[in-house]
Structures are given as structure tokens and as C-alpha cells.
Amino acid sequence: HTSVEMSIVEGLRGLYADVRHQPSFSKKCQRSLHLSWTACTEIVRITAAIPYAWRAARIHKQHSRKKSPSHYDDNNNNSIDDDDVLLLPAVPYGSHKRQVADIWLPPRSLSESNEDANNEGGAGKNRPMCLFIHGGVWSSGEAWHYAPMARCLAQHGIITAVMTYRLFPETGAKGQAADVCAALAWCASQVAQTHNGDAENIALVGHSAGAHLCALALCAKAASLSNLVDDDSILKKASRVQPRRFVSLNGVFDIPSHYEYERRRGVESLSTMKRAMGDSHEAMAALSPSLILRGESKCADADSLSGRRTTRLFSRALNKDKKDKDKDKDTMAPSSIAARFPDETYFLTALGDTTVPFVESVQMHGALQEAGAPHSELLLYPAPNDHGSLVLAWPGGAKHRFGDNNDLAPWSRDLLDIIRHK
């Protein structure tokens, strides 16, 4: 797929630049060997994921065969199995080819479920909604990769939209956060209205880099900076749309700190993270949600970019192309961002994750609490020991049904409970 090819190309570019800047021939050889070993390890990891990819692609193809203008319109459902999930693939929320989302709709039979009375996902109207934002080092990712998870959420009565966004190098984190804002506004209006979703009960769920983009978008929205991209009118509407809850899955929030972690692992040149942020320490700090919040909670230390300086850098990063005669306008008022976060925030993270350590979630959770966010909760899992299982280790069987949680991992059950909670 194009996004995977793009990620590989960008990784090779970073590798070449890293080797070229080594001071001597021997250093170049040593660095080349190290990066080649790292690249081979990554290839082995990707190869090991082929069985999952085949299953996800099969599920995606199976459910996208059926299409209907409205899943719950009795005049358009003759070919739809009442017990089956429906997938509407690649529905556009913007004009770019990657500004699309797969919409997974719950089975019609759930409208007659006994759970209907409890309004926890069984109702044909006012169903809870989930907007999922994938990871992929800001440079890769496809909606079909998450078909097992999305189908399971839909089987439990949740209208689930799995969005894709513009990738680096076509745009950076700022533009990607703008895509999240646009998709959120689209979900709250068009998707909710067309498919009987509850626009006031949307869960914004992000994994890895996707969690960072969610948090960045929420910081911008809270600071009333809807103009993440100049002359994009939909974002002015997006600033007024707020999810009920934000759920992070193995998210990264302190970009300079994570860059140092990647550097110690020797993978910083293969990762596109620094380049997607703006290729400087100042740019990385400006787009780090935990640093922005630490500044507002006055938990800064002398060696970090935080406090009003961090929020000022954040504002400038989002509006760097604008000419503002009043320089004071790019400074945000203290203690305003966290207080305007969603009603509920949850951090789900694996203790054994070596790609994005759990400390990223712990620090972001602490920053929100200290800055006065409405509600923040941290959920730690001793297993799995990898980065992707929270979004990939979901049941693939078509017979999985609402209320059947025996085959779900603990994090899957927790995510379902969080999203379906009214």
C-alpha cells in the first residue's frame, strides 16, 4: 500500500542522511551496520504480522460488499442481514484522497436487544460513536488495518469511524491534527445525523501517533485555535465540536523526550517523528501536549521548554504563516487548556511496550490532573509486551456478538465499557 511505501521511503531517506553526516568512514560503516540490523529487525516484525494483515483484509472485504444509504432505513435494507455489521468504506470527510473514513455500523438486530432499555449501545437511535485515529509514525497507516477492532466495536452497538489522514511528508503533525478536527466535526454532524448516532456521546480514540494527534487537536481546540490550517473553513466549525471522552492507547505526548528515547535505541533516523514535527527541538516541544499542559500546571523545571514559553511556541507553531502585529496574541492564558478538555480522558497503556514506554501516558495523565482537567484515568496492563496489541489483538470471528466478552482481552473490555458508558 502507498502509505507503507511512503513510510519505507522516508525511513531510507533518514538512514541515508544519518550515515552521510557521520564524521569518518569508519563511523559511517559502523552506523550503516547498526541501522541495517535495525531495519532487518523491523522487516522481521512486519513479516510476522502478515497473518493478521490477511485476516484484517478479509474482514474488511467481507463487510464492504454490502452498501446502503442508511443502515437503519427500512426502505434500503432488503439485502442486509439484521445480525450483520455493515461497513461503508472510504467515506470522505474532506477533499483530499486520504481525508476519508470507514464507517462501521452496528447490526440492526441490536435495536431490539434487551440492552436497548439501558441506552448502552443497543438502541437504534442515539448510539454511542467512536472516531478512531491510527498510528504509524505520522507517515503510514490504513483504515483496513483495524478492521477486527472496528467490527467488534460495531458488534457491541458502537458506530465506529476509522479515519485516515494526510501523511508526512505531504503534511506534518499540524496538518494532521487539523484533519482530526475536521473528521470530528464531520462525525458529529453528518455521521450522527445519517446513522442515528449520538453527537454528544463521541469517543475520540487514538493509538500511538494517533493519540498524539488527538491530544494536539484537543489542545488547539481548547485554546480556541481553530485555524490549524489557513483558509480551511471547516475548522472554524470544528472548534465548537468536543468529544465526550478521549481515549489514548499507548500514546506519545512528550516529543523531545521520546526523540531522546529513540536516539538511545538508535532508531531516530529511521523514525519520521522529528521531521513530522518540524525537524527542530523547539518545534518538537511546541507540539508536545504534555509539555503544553505542564506549563499550565506550573510543573516546569529549568531544563525543559514549558510554562508560558511552551504555550507561546505551540501557538506560533499552529499559526507560523500568519502575520500578527500584536505579538502578545500568540500567548495563551494560563490554566485554560486542561479545563476545556473532554469530560473524560483515559490512558490505556502496556507496561511491556518498548516502542512507546508507558511513562509517556503516566506523565500526560499527571499533567492533566495537575492542570485541572475534568477527569483523567490511567489504566496499566502487565501484558501484552508489544506496542500494537491494544488495537490489533481483537477477535476475528464473525460470530462474536453483543454481550459476549469472554474472548476479549482486558484492554478490549475496558475500551468497550469506556465508550459505551453514558
Determine phi and psi for 194, rounding to 5 degrees. Answer: -75, -35
Please tell me the distance from the alpha carbon of residue 198 to that of residue 71, in angstroms, as a whole number. 15
At 145 the pLDDT is 95
Question: Hey, CA dihedral for 251, 86, 395, 400, is it positive or negative?
Answer: positive
Is the model's pLDDT at 192 over the cut of 90? Answer: yes
pTM over 0.85: no
At 24 the pLDDT is 82
DSSP 187: I
At 30 the pLDDT is 73
List, for residues 352-399, the tens digit of each pLDDT value. 999 999 999 999 999 999 988 999 999 999 977 789 999 999 986 555
Which triple of cell numbers denotes residue 285? 516541544
What does the DSSP assignment read for 330-385? Answer: GSPPTT-TGGGS-SEEEEEEETT-SSS-THHHHHHHHHHHHHT-S-EEEEEES---
At 96 the pLDDT is 96
Which triple of cell numbers denotes residue 154? 460495531
Share of the chain above pLDDT 70, in %: 68
At 23 the pLDDT is 75
Per the model's pLDDT, the better-predicted residue between 303 and 218 turns out to be 218
Of the given ranges (11-15, 248-252, 307-311, 314-318), which has the lowest mean pLDDT? 307-311
Of the given ranges (76-80, 182-186, 312-316), which has the lowest mean pLDDT? 76-80
Average pLDDT of the chain is 79
**Residues 180/209, Cβ–Cβ less than 8 Å:** no
At 367 the pLDDT is 93
**Residues 306/336, Cβ–Cβ less than 8 Å:** no
Question: Hey, CA dihedral for 139, 143, 149, 150, is it positive or negative?
Answer: positive
Please tell me the distance from the alpha carbon of residue 330 to that of residue 312, in angstroms, as a whole number. 6
Neighbours of 417 (CB within 10 A): 12
Per the model's pLDDT, the better-predicted residue between 133 and 227 turns out to be 133
Contacts of 356 (CB under 8 A, 6+ apart): 208, 250, 251, 252, 258, 387
Dmax over Cα atoms in the chain, in whole Å? 72
Mean pLDDT, to the nearest integer, of 182-200?
Answer: 94
The strands making up 376-381's β-sheet, listed across from edge to edge, are 86-92, 100-105, 159-163, 127-133, 197-207, 245-249, 344-350, 376-381
Q: How confident is the model at residue 422 (pLDDT cuts 50, 70, 90)?
A: low
List, for residues 226-278, the tens digit of each pLDDT value. 344 344 444 454 567 899 999 999 999 999 999 999 988 888 887 899 999 99
Please tell me the distance from the alpha carbon of residue 165 to that of residue 142, in angstroms, as a whole number. 9
Per the model's pLDDT, the better-predicted residue between 324 and 224 turns out to be 224
Which triple of cell numbers denotes residue 223? 485554546
Q: How confident is the model at residue 115 (pLDDT cuts 50, 70, 90)?
A: very low
Per the model's pLDDT, the better-predicted residue between 4 and 280 turns out to be 280
**Residues 131/184, Cβ–Cβ less than 8 Å:** yes
- 197-207/159-163 β-pairing: unpaired
At 395 the pLDDT is 86
List, for residues 41-78, the tens digit of each pLDDT value. 767 766 777 889 999 999 999 888 655 545 555 444 44
Please tell me the distance from the alpha carbon of residue 389 to that of residue 385, in angstroms, as a whole number. 8
Q: How confident is the model at residue 208 (pLDDT cuts 50, 70, 90)?
A: very high
List, for residues 286-309, the tens digit of each pLDDT value. 999 999 888 744 333 323 333 444
Say whether 300 sits in a helix, a strand or coil: coil
List, for residues 149-170, the tens digit of each pLDDT value. 999 999 999 999 999 999 999 9
**Residues 354/258, Cβ–Cβ less than 8 Å:** no
Contacts of 42 (CB under 8 A, 6+ apart): 270
Is the model's pLDDT at 403 over the cut of 70? Answer: no
